[in-house]
Chain A
Amino acid sequence: MDDFIAARSQMAISLGFHIIYSCIGMVMPVFMAISHYKWIKTGDPVYKNVTQAWSKGVAIFFATGAVSGTILSFELGLLWPKFMEHAGPIFGMPFSLEGVAFFIEAIALGFFLYGWKRLNKWFHWFTGILVGISGIASGILVVSANSWMNNPTGFDFINGQYVNIDPIKAMFNGSWFSEALHMTLAAFSATGFAVAGIHALMIARKQNVTFHTKAFKIAIVFGAAAAILQPFSGDISAKNAAKKQPAKLAAMESYFHTVPYSPLTIGGFPDTAAKKNNFGIEVPGLLSFLVYDNFKQPVAALDQIPKQNQPPIAVTHIAFEIMIAIGSTMMLVGILYFLAIWKKRSWLSKKWFLYLFILSTPFGFIAVEAGWTVTEVGRQPWIIQGVMRTSEAVTPMPGIAYSFYLFTAVYIILSIAVIFLLKRQIKMVPQLYDR
């Protein structure tokens, strides 16, 4: 395996792994805080059990998230030393604030996990909330760092030199808001649907129904609400990509030839050699409308972008399609849920209704992976859009392929271990929490 490809693959697998844990790390504390609050307020022991059962699962995810995050902080330098050498001082601000947020999170987590018997109950509850707040803050900050790679501002690039550096401006680059919003919603919808799905499965199996119903409710309200908002936020992201990264947008849409009434392509497989999309459905004018709010104005296609600056089209397009398909499905399921609690209470205990959620368990996380693939692969060949190429940034050390195999093995083992442990936790729910 080529070293450059190996480095990219290693980065991709590390981030793809970490992002799952970070979503859970951002969202689960919020769920726990709500259930914890209900316990303190109502005294209903089921809520206490839900909180404790979740917190044990979360402790495992946190440890895994923390170590995979530590790997990443070094990997940026290990794999992309030239990138970090120049980008570090520019986009480092969110990373340093993120360090602070992590620290607070780790401290609060220590209090929360070990404080059941030792702390005042409201202080204990507050530490749980703090875990959630700092988790969300760190997620937003790190995404702001990523958005800078897509939309680099806060410096001037003159004769190969990075001058007039302004880290604050770099942090609040034009893309940070749309990315941070979309990512935060994604964390809530993905985690909400995954957690709700697992509890729905237990309800369908008629195990500890009260326990699982309470847990399901907390998770799905957030998941469904976020899923409904997600496409709107995605639209903001796409408009932003059209402005700042036309190549990415064109690749996402597998859109080869610039025409007025630019069509939106749904599905299909791009044929890069023939410069066309096979088996897709084209809706004329829709892309123009989505980007410019009118049906006529032409959107720039791949023919406007020099070949050496084009991202891999097939991967970007297919990943984007997956995200859209899932996003639309999740939105629908979310609407159905609210419809059910508003008008059709009887659905809530129906088998088909539960199976809808069981089926949706992995959807959010698949969409998260797909969305990041769009963002990262769609930025290629640039590591800093328009400024530095990924190939210029890679480490000179040969043999990265081996380190890629090694890390792949590590992540596979860790994933298996986490799934194994989670299964055992769920299996123990009846013994631990039935009274």
Chain B
Amino acid sequence: MLYIVISFLFLAIVLYFLLGGADFGAGIIELFTSEKNRHRTRKTSYEAIGPIWEANHMWLIIAVVIMFVGFPVIYSTMCTYLHIPLLIMLLGITARGTAFAFRNYDAIKGEKTQNLYNKVFVYSSFITPLFLGIIAGSAISRQIDLHPVSYLDAYIFSWLNYFSVAVGLFTVALSGYLAAIYLIGEADNDHDARRFITKAKAMNMLAVAFGGLVFIASEIEHIRLAHWIFGNPVSLTAVIAASVSLLISWILINKGKRKIIRIGAGFQVTMILLAVGYMHWPYLIMTKDGQNLSLFMYQAPEKTIHVLAKGLMIGSLLILPSLFYLYYSFQKKEDTV
């Protein structure tokens, strides 16, 4: 039963990264679009993410609930030592969700108000994944200090370090990449589609660059990231698979094979998550003094895990089919470009 719960936890994290990431990415793309094309990007992303953004963000809630019901000590440790980045992420989520809804549902489309919503939307779309990445990076950065001597040690340096910030930037680039790839398929004319292709390529290069930065930062912080990732067969294979599929995507992207490149992008990101996830399995949090919080040591009592697993299984029977139907119903039909 514990394995079922853990599987759902990882499923929720991966899907939040993919779907929520693409969602944030739409804002990032808008941020990096020239003034004159912005309204077109906005229109495409409204049509593409309007119906699904709330559902996309539910994966975060599912992940949090699994954490505090199933692994309460890990949850409370994160909440204590990563209080500040979590807080900033929450503000980002709040600003972004409301700005997106407000700009679409304001009954009077005034220029000033729309500009304000747009500004809030794009900047919070950048900040939120940045801090999500920082939080994820911090969890494994070995900078969380369970016996801190000062406020700074406990609550600031736990997340403000080169490695975590690099992971944050990497997350931003990946989100932008996912979104651009997704939007290529949603564009309703060639011109827009080409714009998104350019964006996808740029974001991709950025992601590779920031990926490099993560490795450099890990050396600075004495995190043996390269050793961990390349030192175990699963992570190594995952990284190779991601790279190969990346190369294939570059070739296919110009041919307008939307379905395949979408799957490819999803695959690449999933592989990256698998590589990192596996390398520190089964630890979710790694701390300074080497006291790592394992999913197998800090789980809730047997009975709780049991009902949680049942709840998740029954819930997913209801959720997954309707979710697929939602995506299916609001997908742009393959042949409209």
Q: Which of A56, A397, A432 contacts B83 (CB 8 A)?
A: A397
CA–CA, A102 to B58, complex, Å?
7
User: B274 an interface residue at 8 Å Cβ cutoff?
Assistant: no
A429 → B minimal CB distance (Å): 9
B134 → A minimal CB distance (Å): 15
Number of residue pairs spanning A and B whose beta carbons lie under 8 angstroms apart:
202
User: B282 an interface residue at 8 Å Cβ cutoff?
Assistant: no
When the two chains form their complex, are residues B62 and A99 in contact, meaning their CB atoms are under 8 A apart?
yes
- CB nearest to A76 among chain B residues: B68
Given contacts A70-B57, A77-B78, A165-B301, contact A96 B308 (CB under 8 A): yes
User: B304 an interface residue at 8 Å Cβ cutoff?
Assistant: yes
Which range holds the interface residue count of chain A? Answer: 35 or more
When the two chains form their complex, are residues A119 and B329 in contact, meaning their CB atoms are under 8 A apart?
yes
B326: chain A residues at CB < 8 Å are 107, 110-111
Given contacts A104-B318, A424-B107, contact A89 B93 (CB under 8 A): no
Given contacts A67-B97, A107-B326, A114-B50, contact A74 B64 (CB under 8 A): yes
* A78-86, A177-185, A215-223, A347-355 - interface stretch: A78-86
When the two chains form their complex, are residues B61 and A73 in contact, meaning their CB atoms are under 8 A apart?
yes
B309-337: CB near A (< 8 Å → 1, else 0) gives 00110110011001100100110000000
CA–CA, A67 to B50, complex, Å?
16
CA–CA, A84 to B68, complex, Å?
7
When the two chains form their complex, are residues A85 and B73 in contact, meaning their CB atoms are under 8 A apart?
yes
User: A11 an interface residue at 8 Å Cβ cutoff?
Assistant: no
When the two chains form their complex, are residues A110 and B51 in contact, meaning their CB atoms are under 8 A apart?
yes
- CB nearest to A411 among chain B residues: B94
A427: chain B residues at CB < 8 Å are 107-108
User: A103 an interface residue at 8 Å Cβ cutoff?
Assistant: yes
* B27-35, B84-92, B182-190 - interface stretch: B84-92
When the two chains form their complex, are residues B79 and A81 in contact, meaning their CB atoms are under 8 A apart?
yes
User: A309 an interface residue at 8 Å Cβ cutoff?
Assistant: no
B residues sitting closer than 8 Å to A (CB atoms) are: 50-52, 54-55, 57-58, 60-62, 64-66, 68-70, 72-73, 75-80, 83, 86-87, 90-91, 93-94, 97-98, 100-102, 104-108, 151, 154-155, 300-301, 303-304, 307-308, 311-312, 314-315, 318-319, 322-323, 326, 329-330
When the two chains form their complex, are residues B51 and A114 in contact, meaning their CB atoms are under 8 A apart?
yes
When the two chains form their complex, are residues B106 and A421 in contact, meaning their CB atoms are under 8 A apart?
yes
CA–CA, A77 to B106, complex, Å?
34
- CB nearest to A154 among chain B residues: B303
Given contacts A67-B98, A103-B319, contact A88 B107 (CB under 8 A): no
When the two chains form their complex, are residues B83 and A107 in contact, meaning their CB atoms are under 8 A apart?
no
When the two chains form their complex, are residues B76 and A118 in contact, meaning their CB atoms are under 8 A apart?
no
A40: chain B residues at CB < 8 Å are none
User: A398 an interface residue at 8 Å Cβ cutoff?
Assistant: yes
When the two chains form their complex, are residues A97 and B319 in contact, meaning their CB atoms are under 8 A apart?
no
Q: Which of B79, B100, B101, B108 contacts A74 (CB 8 A)?
A: B79
CA–CA, A41 to B299, complex, Å?
53
When the two chains form their complex, are residues A77 and B303 in contact, meaning their CB atoms are under 8 A apart?
no
Q: Which of A59, A84, A119, A424 contacts B72 (CB 8 A)?
A: A84
CA–CA, A103 to B314, complex, Å?
13
Q: Which of B77, B105, B304 contacts A60 (CB 8 A)?
A: B105
User: A428 an interface residue at 8 Å Cβ cutoff?
Assistant: yes
B66: chain A residues at CB < 8 Å are 96
When the two chains form their complex, are residues A92 and B304 in contact, meaning their CB atoms are under 8 A apart?
yes
CA–CA, A424 to B102, complex, Å?
12
B240 → A minimal CB distance (Å): 35
A residues 24-68 in Cβ contact with B at 8 Å: 56, 59-60, 62-64, 66-68
Given contacts A106-B55, A395-B83, A403-B87, contact A432 B319 (CB under 8 A): no
When the two chains form their complex, are residues B79 and A78 in contact, meaning their CB atoms are under 8 A apart?
yes
Given contacts A74-B64, A403-B87, A410-B94, contact A110 B330 (CB under 8 A): yes
A394 → B minimal CB distance (Å): 11
Taking A103-B315, A107-B326 as given, write out 17 further A-B residue pairs in contact, using a Cβ cutoff of 8 Å, ordered by the A residue number.
A67-B94, A69-B61, A78-B86, A81-B80, A96-B312, A96-B315, A99-B61, A99-B315, A100-B315, A100-B318, A104-B318, A106-B55, A110-B50, A110-B55, A110-B330, A395-B80, A421-B107
User: A359 an interface residue at 8 Å Cβ cutoff?
Assistant: no
A111: chain B residues at CB < 8 Å are 51, 326, 329
When the two chains form their complex, are residues A432 and B107 in contact, meaning their CB atoms are under 8 A apart?
yes
Given contacts A74-B90, A111-B329, contact A92 B57 (CB under 8 A): no
CA–CA, A89 to B76, complex, Å?
12
A417: chain B residues at CB < 8 Å are 98, 102
- CB nearest to B299 among chain A residues: A89
Given contacts A78-B86, A99-B65, A398-B151, contact A93 B76 (CB under 8 A): no
When the two chains form their complex, are residues B65 and A92 in contact, meaning their CB atoms are under 8 A apart?
yes
